[in-house]
Chains A and B, each alone.
Chain A
Amino acid sequence: GNSVTQMEGPVTLSEEAFLTINCTYTATGYPSLFWYVQYPGEGLQLLLKATKADDKGSNKGFEATYRKETTSFHLEKGSVQVSDSAVYFCALSGSGGSNYKLTFGKGTLLTVNP
């Protein structure tokens, strides 16, 4: 079945540091890949997505590239801010006939200190 593996957290950085959160997946076919962010006490918000190999999703300074050869979709940001503190979830959909659902990783808690 489909699965998503994210790097274990928590991740603690200082403001303006470089961020990488690793995400790898197992799926058949050609899934779409997503990063969602969850701020404290809130639901999930779509951060970015990529729907085919070599696509780069980007939003609010965050980027991730769909790498089929390494089955990865790592999230990066060049300079984090305190307001980026949240839980980040990598997810996939559209593989193995299960177009209808998102499969999530366990999430990575990011804390950015001033």
Chain B
Amino acid sequence: ETGVTQSPTHLIKTRGQQVTLRCSSQSGHNTVSWYQQALGQGPQFIFQYYREEENGRGNFPPRFSGLQFPNYSSELNVNALELDDSALYLCASSLDVSGATDTQYFGPGTRLTVL
């Protein structure tokens, strides 16, 4: 069983640009969630995808969007980057969306710096 992987590890962008972050979930996991972790803070929920459909969304603007693919990979896209978007972006996969008890398995994250 492979773990959750993310790419790239680090990324530097300038304000106003667009960025795509990628995640590969554990095999068989139908659910992927994305979180933003600012420096010194706990992760904040961005959104979740279940079987390629958005299943829930946190308090983030529409310029944060996502996609989930049938091969257990997913993307987080951020348009019109702002300085405050600088953070560690984490994806997490879980078996199913049905149970709150399901464990979410996190990837190592992508460190995004916006200049």
Interface residues of A (CB under 8 A from B): 4, 31-32, 34, 36, 41-46, 49, 51, 89, 91, 93-95, 98-107
Distance in angstroms between the alpha carbons of A93 and B31 in the assembled complex: 15
Are A32 and B100 interface neighbours, CB within 8 A? Answer: yes
Interface size range on B against A: 20 to 34
Known: A100-B48, A101-B33, A101-B48. A49 touches B42 (CB 8 A): no
Q: 0/1 per residue, B16-50, Cβ < 8 Å to A?
A: 00000000000000010101000011111100101
- Checking A32, A46, A95, A104 against B105 with a beta-carbon cut-off of 8 angstroms, the contacting residue is A46
Are A46 and B45 interface neighbours, CB within 8 A? Answer: no
Contacting A at CB under 8 A, from B56-113, are 56, 58, 90, 92, 97-101, 103-109
Are A51 and B101 interface neighbours, CB within 8 A? Answer: yes
Are A105 and B100 interface neighbours, CB within 8 A? Answer: no
Interface residues of B (CB under 8 A from A): 4, 6, 31, 33, 35, 40-45, 48, 50, 55-56, 58, 90, 92, 97-101, 103-109
